[in-house]
Amino acid sequence: NPLHLAILKRQINLIPLLIAKGVSLTFQDNLGNTPLHIACKYSLVNIVEIIFATASIKTVSKCLEIRNYDGDTCLHLVAYNNDLKLLELFIRYGANIDVQVGFFLFF
Protein backbone atom coordinates (compact mmCIF):
# COMPACT_ATOMS: atom_id res chain seq x y z
CA ASN A 1 0.00 0.00 0.00
CA PRO A 2 1.12 3.62 -0.26
CA LEU A 3 2.19 3.68 3.38
CA HIS A 4 4.68 0.84 2.83
CA LEU A 5 6.17 2.81 -0.06
CA ALA A 6 6.27 6.10 1.85
CA ILE A 7 8.18 4.38 4.65
CA LEU A 8 10.60 2.64 2.28
CA LYS A 9 11.26 5.99 0.54
CA ARG A 10 11.50 7.82 3.91
CA GLN A 11 8.79 10.28 2.87
CA ILE A 12 8.28 11.49 6.41
CA ASN A 13 5.87 14.28 5.45
CA LEU A 14 3.48 11.83 3.76
CA ILE A 15 3.19 9.29 6.58
CA PRO A 16 0.91 11.23 8.96
CA LEU A 17 -1.19 12.41 6.01
CA LEU A 18 -1.70 8.85 4.76
CA ILE A 19 -2.60 7.62 8.25
CA ALA A 20 -5.04 10.53 8.72
CA LYS A 21 -6.66 9.67 5.37
CA GLY A 22 -7.26 6.11 6.56
CA VAL A 23 -4.52 4.11 4.83
CA SER A 24 -4.34 0.82 6.72
CA LEU A 25 -1.52 0.29 9.19
CA THR A 26 -2.48 -3.38 9.47
CA PHE A 27 -2.28 -4.15 5.75
CA GLN A 28 0.37 -6.81 5.10
CA ASP A 29 2.56 -6.95 2.00
CA ASN A 30 3.55 -10.11 0.12
CA LEU A 31 5.90 -11.06 2.99
CA GLY A 32 3.33 -10.34 5.66
CA ASN A 33 4.98 -7.12 6.76
CA THR A 34 2.89 -4.20 7.93
CA PRO A 35 4.16 -0.63 7.52
CA LEU A 36 5.38 -0.84 11.12
CA HIS A 37 7.34 -4.03 10.33
CA ILE A 38 9.09 -2.15 7.51
CA ALA A 39 10.00 0.76 9.79
CA CYS A 40 11.32 -1.67 12.42
CA LYS A 41 13.27 -3.74 9.91
CA TYR A 42 15.26 -0.64 8.96
CA SER A 43 15.37 0.85 12.51
CA LEU A 44 13.53 3.97 11.38
CA VAL A 45 12.93 5.38 14.86
CA ASN A 46 11.56 8.70 13.64
CA ILE A 47 8.99 6.94 11.45
CA VAL A 48 7.92 4.60 14.26
CA GLU A 49 7.46 7.66 16.48
CA ILE A 50 5.32 9.32 13.78
CA ILE A 51 3.17 6.19 13.45
CA PHE A 52 2.70 5.93 17.21
CA ALA A 53 1.87 9.65 17.50
CA THR A 54 -0.58 9.63 14.59
CA ALA A 55 -2.41 6.31 14.88
CA SER A 56 -4.89 5.39 17.59
CA ILE A 57 -3.71 3.36 20.58
CA LYS A 58 -6.00 0.53 19.45
CA THR A 59 -4.39 0.44 16.01
CA VAL A 60 -0.87 0.60 17.45
CA SER A 61 -1.69 -2.26 19.83
CA LYS A 62 -3.01 -4.36 16.96
CA CYS A 63 0.09 -3.62 14.86
CA LEU A 64 2.34 -4.74 17.69
CA GLU A 65 0.63 -8.16 17.68
CA ILE A 66 0.72 -8.86 13.93
CA ARG A 67 3.25 -11.42 12.72
CA ASN A 68 4.80 -11.44 9.28
CA TYR A 69 5.07 -14.69 7.31
CA ASP A 70 8.35 -15.53 9.08
CA GLY A 71 6.40 -15.44 12.34
CA ASP A 72 8.02 -12.22 13.54
CA THR A 73 6.28 -9.38 15.31
CA CYS A 74 7.70 -5.89 15.11
CA LEU A 75 9.29 -6.46 18.52
CA HIS A 76 11.23 -9.42 17.11
CA LEU A 77 12.61 -7.23 14.32
CA VAL A 78 13.63 -4.59 16.85
CA ALA A 79 15.41 -7.25 18.90
CA TYR A 80 17.19 -8.67 15.84
CA ASN A 81 18.52 -5.17 15.16
CA ASN A 82 19.57 -4.60 18.80
CA ASP A 83 17.67 -1.31 18.67
CA LEU A 84 17.34 -0.28 22.31
CA LYS A 85 15.59 3.00 21.55
CA LEU A 86 12.80 1.23 19.66
CA LEU A 87 12.66 -1.52 22.29
CA GLU A 88 12.07 1.06 25.02
CA LEU A 89 9.43 2.78 22.88
CA PHE A 90 7.64 -0.53 22.24
CA ILE A 91 7.62 -1.39 25.94
CA ARG A 92 6.09 2.03 26.69
CA TYR A 93 3.36 1.28 24.16
CA GLY A 94 2.58 -2.10 25.71
CA ALA A 95 4.34 -4.57 23.41
CA ASN A 96 4.31 -8.10 24.80
CA ILE A 97 7.95 -8.70 25.73
CA ASP A 98 7.28 -12.41 26.27
CA VAL A 99 6.04 -13.04 22.72
CA GLN A 100 7.55 -16.19 21.24
CA VAL A 101 9.02 -16.45 17.78
CA GLY A 102 6.62 -18.46 15.66
CA PHE A 103 6.57 -19.65 12.10
CA PHE A 104 3.60 -19.97 9.79
CA LEU A 105 3.30 -23.13 7.76
CA PHE A 106 1.65 -22.96 4.38
CA PHE A 107 0.59 -26.03 2.45
Q: Torsions phi, psi of 3, nearest 5?
A: -70, -40
b/e per residue 58-70 (b: at least 16 CB within 10 A): ebbeebbebbbee
pLDDT one-digit tens code per residue, 40-79: 999 999 999 999 999 998 999 899 889 999 989 998 899 8
Residue 99, pLDDT score: 61
Q: Best-predicted range by mean pLDDT among 27-36, 61-70, 84-93?
A: 27-36
Residue 94 buriedness (CB in 10 A; 0-12 / 13-18 / 19+): exposed
Q: Whole-structure pTM over 0.75, yes or no?
A: yes
Cα 89 to its chain centre, rounded Å, is 12
Domains and CATH numbers, the chain: 2-92 (1.25.40.20)
Residue 107: band (very low, low, confident or very high) from pLDDT cuts 50, 70, 90: very low
Mean per-residue pLDDT of the chain: 89
- Report the C-alpha gap between 93 and 90 in whole angstroms: 5
